[in-house]
Amino acid sequence: MIGAVAAQTVEIPDRRAVAESRLRKASTMTLRTAPAALSSAEAASLIRRIAETQDRGAFAALFAYYFPRVKAYMLRVGASPASAEEFAQEALLRVWRKADSFDPRAAAASTWIFVIARNLRIDRLRGERNIDGLESDPSEEPDAPQSGEAIAILNERRSRLHAALAALPAEQARIIELFYFEEHPHSEIARMLGVPLGTVKSRVRLAVQRLRAELEDLGS
């Protein structure tokens, strides 16, 4: 991969050569397999490095963890393999471009990247949308360095979230998952539970209430 990039640098103009050289340097950081874990604090610090110094090494680490997961998400919500790859690339590009609007006190990195991927899904799978949703306006956010305490809170919040998911009864966890990943969750849930569509709503309400109890205090 690195050899191929180097071969292309021979006849390109200087400006490109500089870019390619940066690319070569960053390429060496590509990971072959997706890392199994990336803590909230690590992810937040990578995004901060991208925002402050356009650090491609930090981007490579974030890419290695999130690209395969965002692609998996796009596949689950109905994108073809080629589109899923393209959407995942666009999502990670948005992470790069919008890194300075990430506020680690408002949301975990995983939440922020989920919202980027979700909005992309809405834009691309359903046509353009002119309402930009609830993305925070960076100009409204106070600027404060992340304290050790804030990092501890973030890490705890995230592990509690995973615990809350694990604590749900299997049927309710499945209902929640269908909501996040299926285009028509109500009919999928009706099929899964073997109940009429009209009954689904009360089951969903139960799952949401249960989850809500588990999630109390987790919102920011």
Partner 1 sequence: MTNPGHAPEDLILRHATGALDPAFSLLIETHLAMSSASRRLHAQFEALGGALLEELAPADVDPAAWNRTLRALDADGEPAVDRPKRKAAHPKLPEGFALPAPLASVDIHHWRWIAPGVRSASIALPKHGASRAFLLEIAPDMTVPRHGHVGDEATCVLRGGFRDRDAHFGPGDVAQVDEEVEHDIVIDAGDPCLCLIAMEGRTRPSSWFGRLYQKFRDI
Q: Is 191 in the site for partner 1 (CB under 8 A)?
A: no
From 68, 101, 151, 171, residue interacting with partner 1 (rule: CB under 8 A):
68
Q: Is residue 152 packed enough to be buried (19+ CB in 10 Å), middle (13-18) or exposed (0-12)? A: exposed
From 41, 49, 102, 158, residue interacting with partner 1 (rule: CB under 8 A):
158
Of 131-139, 144-152, 187-195: span binding partner 1 (CB under 8 A)? 131-139
Strand intervals (E) in the chain: none
Q: Is 47 in the site for partner 1 (CB under 8 A)?
A: no
Per-residue string for binding with partner 1, 168-187, x by CB under 8 A?
Answer: --------xx-xxx-x-x--
Of 93-101, 144-152, 188-196: span binding partner 1 (CB under 8 A)? 93-101
- Give min distance, CB of 147 to partner 1, in A: 20
- Give min distance, CB of 16 to partner 1, in A: 8
Q: Is 155 in the site for partner 1 (CB under 8 A)?
A: no
d(CA 114, CA 159): 17
Of 138-146, 162-170, 187-195: span binding partner 1 (CB under 8 A)? 162-170
Q: Is 153 in the site for partner 1 (CB under 8 A)?
A: no
Residues of 37-64 as b/e, b for ≥16 C-beta within 10 angstroms?
ebebbbbbbbbbbbbeeebbebbbbbbb
The single-letter code of the amino acid at 102 is F
Of 16-24, 140-148, 188-196: span binding partner 1 (CB under 8 A)? 16-24
d(CA 74, CA 38): 20
From 23, 51, 192, 206, residue interacting with partner 1 (rule: CB under 8 A):
23
d(CA 69, CA 33): 12
Asked if residues 101 and 136 have their Cβ atoms less than 8 Å apart, the reply is yes
Q: Is residue 157 packed enough to be buried (19+ CB in 10 Å), middle (13-18) or exposed (0-12)? A: middle
Q: Is 118 in the site for partner 1 (CB under 8 A)?
A: yes
